[in-house]
Amino acid sequence: MDEQTGYEEFIRQIVAAGVTDPLVLAAIRQVPRHLFVPEILCAKAYSDSPLPIGLGQTISQPLMVALMTQLLRLKETDRVLEIGTGSGYQAAILSLLAKEVITIERLYDLAETARVRLSQLGYPNIQVMVGDGSLGWSVSAPYDAIIVTAGAPEVPKNLLQQMAPGGKLVAPIGARTHQTLVLVEKTMTGETIWHSHGACAFVPLIGEQGWQV
Ligand code: SAM
C-alpha cells in the first residue's frame, strides 16, 4: 500500500466508524499525526492504533480522537479544556475547531515536548500547562467543552463544576484498564445529562480525583 492509499484508508476507517462531521474530518486531515509520534514510529502514524510516546504513555487511537471530538460539537467561539496533553495531537485538532484550548499534562517532559512541537508547527491558540488535571484548571473556568484523555474511576467533580452552562464533557470512565466513553451535557440551568458511547481503553488518569499512582 503506498503512502496516499494508506492515508485514505485511515480516513475511510474513521468515517466507517461513524465520524461524519465534515469539520472534524477536515481537522483530522489537516493535522499531520506522523509529526506527533517518535520518528521511529512515523510509518505507523496512519494506522488506527494508539502508539507509545515515552514515559509509559500513548498518543490515542485516531478513531477515538475523532469520536471524542465529534461528541463535543465544538463552535469556533468555544473555550476548551483538555486533560492529558500527551503528544499534543488531540489539542492540535481541537484548536482548529475552537477559539482557545488549555491542555494539562502531569508529566513535565511530555508537556515540554508537546509545547515546543505545537509552537513550531504553528498552533497559536493552545496553552500547555503542567499539573494534576483531575482537579481541572479553575483559574480559566468555566469551559464550553472539557475532554479527558485518560481513564478515570468517575468524572472528577471539579471538572463538572468547571463546565459552563450549555457545556459538554467527554471522558473514559470505569476500571483502570477499560472504560466506557461518557458524554455529560450541562443544561443552561445547571443540571447534567449523561450518555454512554461504548467501550474504550485509555491509560489511567493519575491524580487526586483519579487513580493513585
Ligand atoms: N491526548 C493525548 C494525545 O493527543 O497525544 C493522549 C493522551 S494519553 C492517552 C493520556 C495522558 O494523560 C498521558 O500523557 C498522561 O501522562 C496524562 N495524564 C494522566 N493523568 C493526568 C492528570 N491527572 N493530569 C494531567 N495529565 C494526566
Q: Which residues line ligand 1 (CB under 6 A)?
A: 57-60, 83-84, 86-87, 89-90, 104-107, 110, 132-134, 149-150, 202-203, 205-207, 210
What domains lie within the chain, and their CATH numbers? 3-200 (3.40.50.150)
Annotated active-site residue in 47, 49, 60, 134: 60
For 166, the enclosing helix (H) or strand (E) is strand 163-174
Contact between 153 and 124 under an 8 Å Cβ cutoff? The reply is no
pLDDT digits (tens, 9 = 90+) for 52-63: 999 999 999 999
Residue type (1 letter), 101 = V
Beta-carbon-side half-sphere exposure of residue 16 (alpha carbons within 13 Å): 7
**How many Å apart are CA 7 and CA 126, to the nearest integer?**
26
Query: Which are the contacts of 137, defined by CB distance < 8 A and separation ≥ 6?
Result: 81, 102, 104, 129, 131, 162
pLDDT value of position 213: 87
Task: Give the residue, out of 28, 80, 107, with the most ligand 1 atoms within 8 A of its beta carbon, to mutate for a pocket test.
Answer: 107
**Which atom of ligand 1 is closest in space to residue 59's alpha carbon?**
5
CA distance 208 to 213: 10
**Which residues neighbour 13 within 8 Å (Cβ) at sequence distance 6 or greater?**
48, 63
The alpha carbon of 189 and the centre of ligand 1 are apart by a number of angstroms equal to: 31
The whole-angstrom separation of Cα 192 and Cα 195 is 10
Between these two residues, 17 and 172, which has the higher pLDDT value?
172
- Protein residue whose Cα sits closest to atom 27 of ligand 1: 84
Count Cα neighbours of 86 within 13 Å in the Cβ-side half-sphere.
Answer: 31
CA of 92 to the centre of ligand 1 (A): 14
Per-residue pLDDT tens for 161-198?
999 999 999 999 999 999 999 999 999 999 999 999 99
Residue bearing cell 506527533: 36
Give the length of the chain.
Answer: 213
Specify whether 60 is catalytic. yes
This prediction has a pTM of 0.97
Mean pLDDT of 101-114: 98
Atom of ligand 1 nearest to the CA of 89: 4
